[in-house]
Structure 1
Amino acid sequence: MPVANLPARAGGLHVLNAWGQGFAQWWLSGLRDAVPAGWRVWAEGETRPQVTLWRDGDGVTCRLKSGSGPAEIRIPVSHFNAGALEQWFTGQGVTREGTNVAPVISHELFFLRELSVPKAAIAALPKILEQDIVRRTPFQLSDIWHAATAVGEEAGGVVPMCHWIIRRDRVEAALSELGLTSGDVDCLAVAGADGEALPVITFRTVRDEDPAWALRAVRLLAAGALAAVLLGLTAFEWRQASVADALETALAEVRQSAQNGRDGMDPAARLFAMKAETGVLAVWDELSRILPDHTFLTETRIADGTVTLSGFSADAAGLVRIIDQSPLFSGATLTSAITPDANERKDRFSLAFKLRGARSARPAARSRTAP
């Protein structure tokens, strides 16, 4: 792969990923509005477990909120790391992949900005924030993490929000004190006025924005699609089996009809008789051998063991004798008068003869040869 194509392809994947996320959010929003309220209550009955953790003296306090109830543990700093955290998850009956991990960071490490965002612009808020950072702050997007949270009720179509900005090196330093890295956590939180942790910056936005009811809906749709495919395959196989049975029945009927239409000869006698008969190809081969070069045919008819010929010849009268001398033919006679043809400068003739050993009532075979 050419190195020069890598940036272009990476940009294309970024655009495709952004488009996919936007389409998913639009689809989920429409699905949420279309689903009855009772169904939404059932689907949202299961919330995603969340763990908040913070430094507490010489230990790290971990607090878990899940459907089975809250749980808390304090682990000494010297023993705390990602492995110890996963071990505690296992004891609480949850998994690391299915749990949001949010370390509590001090307010002092954040740069806060107050914003008033029109409700109609909420969907485009990420792009608005990026442009605001580039134009109105000294930060570079590659050096920070940022997000906005609502801090009040909507008033006059405007939502008051707080823009949280923090440098990545500060986050890494704070997490290193806990024995973690940014890859071990899902979001950053701060301590609220009531002492509860408030998530403010989410790293894994795709997983965090997919609620439990959306996951259930996707699973139900996947199961429905699988069931539809299996049902379609079953119907296709049943239809093919029905067609095959119909063909077998038709073939059996044809065989029976053919068997009933045969004469009373036994198979050996019938085969011998068919072998003894003179075929069309044998007739043509013999005629091409015995007829002189000055003779050509315009019509040939074979029916019930009789061959009828019509054509032009320089010696039409001598054809009767030539045909009678053949071991395959007998009884050659002219069926009409010989008439001269001025255009061809030959005699027009029509004669008939029998095939030696031919059976009667054979299907007719007719061919024409253009003059």
Structure 2
Amino acid sequence: MISYADIVEVCSRWVDRVAMTIVAGRQSLRTIPYVQLAEQQDGTFTVRSGPQGDVLDVPGPPVRLSGDRAGAEVAGLLDSVLRGAKVEVVLRPQRFMFRPLELPRRALDFLDGIVRAQIDRLTPWSADAAAFGWHSEVDPANDRIDVTIAATAKTLIAPFINAVAALGADTVILSAALPHPVGDVAAIKISEQKAGQAADARRLRRVLIGLAAGGSALASLSIAANAIVGGMFETQRDDVLRRVAERRALMQPGRNGASEAARALEQHKHEIPSTVIAIEALSQVLPDDTYLTELRILGDKMQIVGVTKDAPSLIRLIEQTSHFSKATFFAPTTRSVSEQTEHFHIEARIEPVYTPGL
């Protein structure tokens, strides 16, 4: 059964697809200038233009991007430079977290998925909340790939993207400057946004919607058919529900034992912690420099033994999760003279997965 909302959604997707196709075709027919905004240590930006990266002398105060837009005076000076251009904003490396990753060479075709899956482990953010990019180099001698990942929170780079998009840039590319350039690579691309194409697509979309207004007669016919047929099905559904309720009422007296068993199983599910989920939660919270030699689960308690660089910090990490509580050392923590690690013995209570009463 097709509803009015389904028709509107299909039409909206079709209009968006047509608008983006027309805009993309028009963009391919014109030359787009390239401008780079490189952030300096004092927070100002150097403006470069052209394939040779020539520095442009922008008159007025130093270029700064604060909030979601540039200052009024700076915006007036940059408007003619950035409007309709492909603008790359290169931020300082201090705004990003860099992590190395070594992979076998055969993983090159799956690098995007592998990096996305590793973001949760390598950075404090999830893959949805993080803005990240990477640079890879193949080491033929060892048949390995050396990957350098740069990541930060999306909320930290959004103001820079919005500020440049507000100045009329056609495309906004945001990159992270490498602390130490690798060969010819001085920055890692983090994101790319077609700001100008999106604005053109919105304007063209309004035109296409006006042209598609002639299909309103078909939508009205569909709504009428949906009301008639939907009413018939609604009546049949109410009749079936009524019969099911009657059958359940007749069967209720003989189901006391089954009801008691179901309630007991439900209570057991709420009260007994899940071992599999507890182990999965523990693997996500422990840092990379921590190794376990023993793991014991005794009822609702978990005991772990292993080595780490900072044993007291593990108590805080374990209790921050919703799966454990009352974490404590059940044996003394010792430090090896020849190693820079601590041998720990930690015990914690495993919380049930389900909240009682829900």
TM over 0.5: no
Q: Larger Cα Rg: Structure 1 or Structure 2?
A: 1
TM-score (norm 1): 0.34
The higher relative CO (CA closer than 8 Å, separation ≥ 6) is in 2
TM-score (norm 2): 0.35
